[in-house]
A and B are shown apart, each in its own frame.
Chain A
Amino acid sequence: MNPDVLVAVFLTVITASTPLLLAALGELVTERAGVLNLGVEGMMLMGAVVGFAVTLTTGQWGLGVLAAALAGAGLALVFGVLTLTLVANQVATGLALTIFGIGVSSLIGAGFVGKPLPPLPRLAVPGLSDLPVVGRLLFGQDLLVYLSLVMTGVVAFVLNRTRIGLVLRAVGQSDVSAHAIGYPVIRIRYGAVLFGGVMSGLAGAYLSLAYTPLWVQEMTAGRGWIALAIVVFAAWRPGRALVGAYLFGGITILQLYAQGAGWLPVPSQIFSMLPYLATILVLVIISAGPWRRRLDAPACLGKPFRPAA
């Protein structure tokens, strides 16, 4: 394969993987604090539609991205109030959040269907972006791509090397102990849930502003669920989430290129199944007792916390 095609493949893999990585990082932090938010798909859709709407009406993509993050956080706040303050079931609330997000985003977006928008500008570094092969790969991406990579490092650093990260993990591992020592469990969980909302909102904005600069209903097409799967696949570690997102994105894209070149040895449907198969496999391994502890699933994941009065 000539280098130009290889570069093209990598460029496409990056665009396919970035929204998965952004959403997965957010959910990873949420889950590390012991909260399972299945509403990623809904929050992504809110980010996508609000980001698109604001960018189109103001002409400022910076505002659009910001608004998308806030929209994701807004929906996450609804989830927080229901599950943390009112102690509703997290799984049911998360599912409802996705359905709610699909509906509200369709409503908000009704007037924006069929409107074109120029794609998010790519940051060009004079000189470097023109380098052969690596130039376009490393120095020609848009802001959100770089943000997703930087955030991987930031999340890993904060979780593993800072006091805040330690407290957040403690809350996820044993909310009762953390509470007994005097940490504000609910407040910390709110923070984690909101962070998840912001990241999902950004993932949505990436879809509607950079990936395919348009708004159509339910344009996330299941990416929120794949992001959830990546978190499990990554065993709640940011570095592995990066690998997982690029693996999932990579498989999807490679099979499309293989089809185009005419040398896909098996029916394309098999490849469409692969990400889900991998997830089921990981889930099975993780649920099998001895692995569970080794993979560090947060012990309080999905369990409601009522502080003793």
Chain B
Amino acid sequence: MANIITRRGFLAGTAGIGAGLSLGVNGALAQAQGPLGVGFIYVGPVGDHGWSFTHDVGRKHLEQTLGAKVKTTFVENVAEGPDAERVIRQLATSGNGLIFTTSFGFMNPTERVARQFPNLKFEHATGYKSAPNLATYNARFYEGRAVIGTIAGHVSKSGIAGYVGSVPIPEVVMGINAFTLAARKVNPNFTTRVVWVNSWYDPGKEADAAKALLDQRADVLSQHTDSPAPLQQAEARGAFGFGQANDMKAFAPKAQLTAIVDDWADYYVSRAQAALDGSWKTHSVWYGMKEGMVKIAPYGPGVTDAARAAAEQVKADIISGKSHPFMGPIKDNKGVERVPAGKTLTDEELNKMDWYVEGVQA
């Protein structure tokens, strides 16, 4: 009996060997000569028209710019957790020399896989764990929030902004605070009302939250969720809003004042080029408007001349380093002074932010 090989068992066995061989060969080839394999994993669908979409725009730009020198692969809709580790490992074993993992929750899986593949290069977006072959990169979205906050302060008649929040992590809290601080420099009585939907991506619930805010006298919306649904509600009600992650003008030609646009393209090109040259080194960068990772989309028709001038001024001052969105004095929403005059919050303090500035109702 022991010598009989069933057809099914045989096929499965050879298929396994075949797959193993081809993977090994591909991996070896990619490192020896051929194009550099660049892998991406996204937390959402590339069609989300938001966060994952912008990373994919960067990936496409990378392919166009470096042409035959790179070969990109992406895996979309990867849940943060055990699945992510499996997908990252699969990318690592299928001939990719450089792997970008583009969501905060991919941090620990990326770190574990990076340890197992010391010859491959990994880059994790928005996290804080690095290694000799694991770099981190993030964008200072809060700089963009300061610009749109300035516009909101000018445009809002009721002095109340609605903010559709996803989940209360420092990244999101930081954005709410930067927005509110900037708006209150224009209108000292400005308040921001936050509604949490506890999801990054649920168009229906985002729209409901937007309606709840608009019904309660907010006339400008900002959002830290990924779909254009809140903006669409603003358009329907004749209110204003801001696009998230990319230009969402198509959904709200009148309502969109501007959008904070994530631009990863240049970063991906420069890092892939560095990997090709052999000059790639690990680092931990946090780029903003100065480096062009955060951009402001063209202004919509609702932006007044005064708002436009003020927004441009804030933008120029942040780029030149003359001002910082979190320059003291700053009070929290319980009236306690958190940042004294003349001081600015450090990056480390920003990344731990768990309090709201004055004027935020959350």
Least CB distance from A209 to B in Å reads 13
Least CB distance from A215 to B in Å reads 8
Q: Which residues of chain B are near A272, meaning CB under 8 Å?
A: 198-199
Residue of B nearest to A5 (CB): B215
Selected contact of A221 from candidates B205, B215, B362, CB within 8 Å: B205
Tally of A interface residues using CB under 8 Å: 40
Count of inter-chain pairs, beta carbons less than 8 A:
112
Selected contact of B251 from candidates A16, A214, A261, A262, CB within 8 Å: A214
B212, A253: Cβ atoms closer than 8 Å? yes
Residue of A nearest to B44 (CB): A217
Selected contact of A218 from candidates B45, B205, B229, B250, CB within 8 Å: B45
Selected contact of B212 from candidates A119, A219, A256, CB within 8 Å: A256
Binds B, one of A89-97, A106-114, A191-199: A106-114
A268, B212: Cβ atoms closer than 8 Å? no
Residue of B nearest to A222 (CB): B202
- Chain B interface size, under 10 / 10 to 19 / 20 to 34 / 35 or more: 35 or more
Binds A, one of B90-98, B188-196, B344-352: B188-196
Residue of A nearest to B230 (CB): A212
Q: List A43-91 residues whose CB lies under 8 Å from chain B.
A: none
| In the complex, A301 has a CB within 8 A of chain B | no
Residue of B nearest to A13 (CB): B208
Q: List A196-226 residues whose CB lies under 8 Å from chain B.
A: 207, 211-214, 216-219, 221-223
A259, B211: Cβ atoms closer than 8 Å? no
| In the complex, B227 has a CB within 8 A of chain A | yes
Residue of B nearest to A270 (CB): B198
Contacts A106-B45, A110-B47 given; indicate if A262 touches B215 (C-beta within 8 A). no
A106, B229: Cβ atoms closer than 8 Å? no
Contacts A256-B208, A260-B212, A261-B216 given; indicate if A216 touches B203 (C-beta within 8 A). yes
Q: Is the interface of A mostly helix, strand, loop or mixed?
A: helix
Q: Which residues of chain A are near B206, meaning CB under 8 Å?
A: 212
Contacts A116-B250, A116-B251, A212-B232 given; indicate if A262 touches B193 (C-beta within 8 A). yes
A113, B215: Cβ atoms closer than 8 Å? no
| In the complex, B236 has a CB within 8 A of chain A | yes
Q: Which residues of chain B are near A268, meaning CB under 8 Å?
A: 195-196, 198
A110→B45 CA distance, assembly (Å)? 10
| In the complex, B204 has a CB within 8 A of chain A | yes
A19→B199 CA distance, assembly (Å)? 19
A259, B212: Cβ atoms closer than 8 Å? yes
Residue of B nearest to A118 (CB): B236
| In the complex, B39 has a CB within 8 A of chain A | no
A219, B196: Cβ atoms closer than 8 Å? no
Q: List A1-16 residues whose CB lies under 8 Å from chain B.
A: 4-5, 8-9, 11-12, 15-16
List, sorted by A's number, 10 A–B pairs whose CB atoms are closer than 8 Å: A11-B211, A12-B208, A211-B204, A211-B207, A212-B204, A217-B47, A219-B203, A253-B208, A259-B209, A260-B209
The 8 A-B pairs of least Cβ separation, nearest first, read A217-B45, A221-B202, A8-B215, A113-B47, A256-B212, A217-B47, A212-B229, A259-B195
